[in-house]
Amino acid sequence: MASSTKEALGNALKKMLNIKPIDKITVKDLVEECGVNRQTFYYHFDSIPDLVEDIVSDITKEIIENNASVRSLEECIEIGAKVAIENKKVLMNIYNSANRNVYEIYLMKACQSVVEQYIETVFGEDDVNSFDRGILVRFYKCECFGQIIDWMNNSMSYDLSKELCRLCHLREGFAEEVARRCRKN
């Protein structure tokens, strides 16, 4: 029952975030939507920002669980963009609120996890030292994060997929060259 109540509160907040900004949503709105009392809300969460963190954490877990074998950087960014598009109003209302840091923290975690899978796919068990792997994970994680944040800063107004396809064409062979250089040194 407890997890279903938490889920109902999360769903109510997502529903409301599709309609209005987070600063216009109250605990009263959420409990009325769910048919529970205020004490029930406060049993599960200290505040609406705690509920926001729970929602963003769940979305991040879903991204990580559903993308265990990423084969390219563009696929990493595509995954984040797809989830963002599916939850556009919700994420934009969180992103444009005082809770932006929660979104950014979890976006970075998702980027890191997906990029680690990508690096593992590229290098596998090759003889690449942990220092080089660490550098590549940080670089690609920040690349993915930056691309998605820039896109969100532009209200998701441009076709990120189209730009990524072009970028991939321009960078063709880059990952293989990096892998070759890491194996050599």
- Range scoring the smallest mean pLDDT among 71-80, 113-122, 154-163: 71-80
- Range scoring the smallest mean pLDDT among 52-61, 103-112, 145-154, 174-183: 174-183
Vertex 114: Cα angle to 111 and 118 (nearest 5): 125
Residues contacting residue 127 through CB under 8 Å, at least 6 positions apart: 183
Q: Supply the pLDDT for residue 153.
A: 92
Quote the longest CA-to-CA distance of the chain.
63
At position 124, the amino acid (one-letter code) is: G
Please count the helices (runs of H) and the strands (runs of E) in the chain. 10, 0
pLDDT exceeds cutoff 60 at 2: no
Structure confidence by residue, pLDDT tens digits, 50-67: 998 888 888 777 777 776
Q: Supply the pLDDT for residue 183.
A: 74
pLDDT exceeds cutoff 50 at 1: no
- 98-117 burial, b for 16+ CB within 10 Å, e for fewer? ebeebbbebbbbbbbbbbbb
Top-confidence range, 21-30, 51-60, 65-74, 134-143 = 21-30
